[in-house]
Amino acid sequence: MHRIVFLESESLIAELRRPNFAHDWVAYPNTAPDQVAERLAGATIAIINKAPISAATVNATSGLKMVAVAATGTNVVDLDACRASGIVVANVRGYAEHTVPEHVMALLLALSRNLLAWRETLQAGRWQQSDQFCLFDHPIRDLHGATLGLMGSGSLGNGVARLAEAFGMRVLRAERKDATSLRPGYTAFSTVLAEADAISLHCPLTAATRGLIGVAELQAMKRSALLINTARGGIVDEAALIQALQEGWIAGAGFDVVSVEPPGPDHPMLAPALLALPNFLLTPHVAWASRPAMQALADQLIDNIEAFVAGAPKNRVV
């Protein structure tokens, strides 16, 4: 009989049905990295979100047969170690194809229309003191007619493209940074940096994408450009981003992720001076977390486990 251990049950707010086969079910609200191996002792199926499955954990859990990731990103799993041990790894796909793009557009709209700056203006009493019906303290830009650069063209990037085009934006899909040729429908990475009025990141965090956006890339962007990251924090050099915002290399940034989550109290992306900037928006990794999206994730998660036990794994990464 399978023993299923869910290491982070509080990472999901949804009706999670039990699999349709005989099993033991153990759920922990949260699990620290140093608790993973101990809690997976005797487990045949592990359900994780961000709890790391390291090579050491794989070697210490001889009975583990499947890692069911309750997310799309699998950067927390040592895929090589799982492959070597015959452990199936499956992720959840497509569940956030509406909610993440909507969050991207919300960040773009808020920054383009300077909503935070306008809120500060009202709090300072500027409208109340005005001689006319409106104010012109802060510039407002339309999305219509602007160019959006997409880095990553999976279901989330495609969802953002669909909404952006509905707003009348021109969409450029960036080719890989180190590519020597262009795929049909793609634009050179350097061209996207130079031409985009906003760039939205939707690539996974891998060795190739870590630090994808650094000093050189930020300085190559328009000074009027916006950077949106709802992917993974490590894709952007955070020190470079902070410098870019402080020195005006770009016009603003909207992020839903940081390099370490949850961030410690001294994480530079949560510095009070940075969070007080009207051209920087940070949300706590919630772009994916609408209630419909989380329910879709929960349903697909159990589908993946049932498919594995039935001998026909789907959404398989390894």
50-100 confidence digits (pLDDT tens): 999 999 999 999 899 999 999 998 999 999 999 999 999 999 999 999 999
Among the residues of 13-154, which ranges form H helices? 36-39, 55-60, 79-85, 99-112, 115-123
- Tens of pLDDT along 213-257? 999 999 999 999 999 999 999 999 999 999 999 999 999 999 999
Three-state DSSP at 203 gives coil
Residue 153 in this model has a pLDDT that exceeds 90 = no
- Type of residue found at 260: V
The answer to pTM > 0.85 is: yes
Choosing among 3.40.50.2300, 3.40.50.720, 3.20.20.100, 3.30.70.100, the CATH entry for 2-95+292-309 is 3.40.50.720
Reading the block at residue 140, the tokens are: 């407002």
Superfamily of domain 99-282: NAD(P)-binding Rossmann-like Domain (3.40.50.720)
Burial tier of 48 (Cβ tally within 10 Å: 0-12, 13-18, 19+):
buried
- Note whether 263 and 291 are within 8 A (CB): no
Provide the pairing of β-strand 147-151 with 2-6. Answer: unpaired
Query: What positions carry a catalytic annotation?
Result: 232, 261, 285
What is the mean predicted confidence (pLDDT) over 11-40? 96
- Tens of pLDDT along 87-144? 999 999 999 999 999 999 999 999 999 999 999 999 999 999 999 999 999 999 999 9
What is the mean predicted confidence (pLDDT) over 22-28? 97
Question: Is 2-95+292-309's fold the same as 99-282's?
Answer: yes
Among the residues of the chain, which ranges form H helices? 36-39, 55-60, 79-85, 99-112, 115-123, 155-166, 189-195, 215-220, 238-247, 272-275, 291-309
pLDDT, position 313: 96
pLDDT, position 186: 97
What is the mean predicted confidence (pLDDT) over 256-265? 95
What is the mean predicted confidence (pLDDT) over 3-27? 97
d(CA 175, CA 115): 32
pLDDT, position 22: 95
Q: Cβ atoms within 10 A of the Cβ of 256, count?
A: 23
pLDDT, position 25: 98
Q: Cβ atoms within 10 A of the Cβ of 140, count?
A: 11
Q: What percent of the chain has pLDDT over 70?
A: 100
Domain boundaries, the chain: 2-95+292-309, 99-282
Provide the pairing of β-strand 45-48 with 226-229. Answer: unpaired
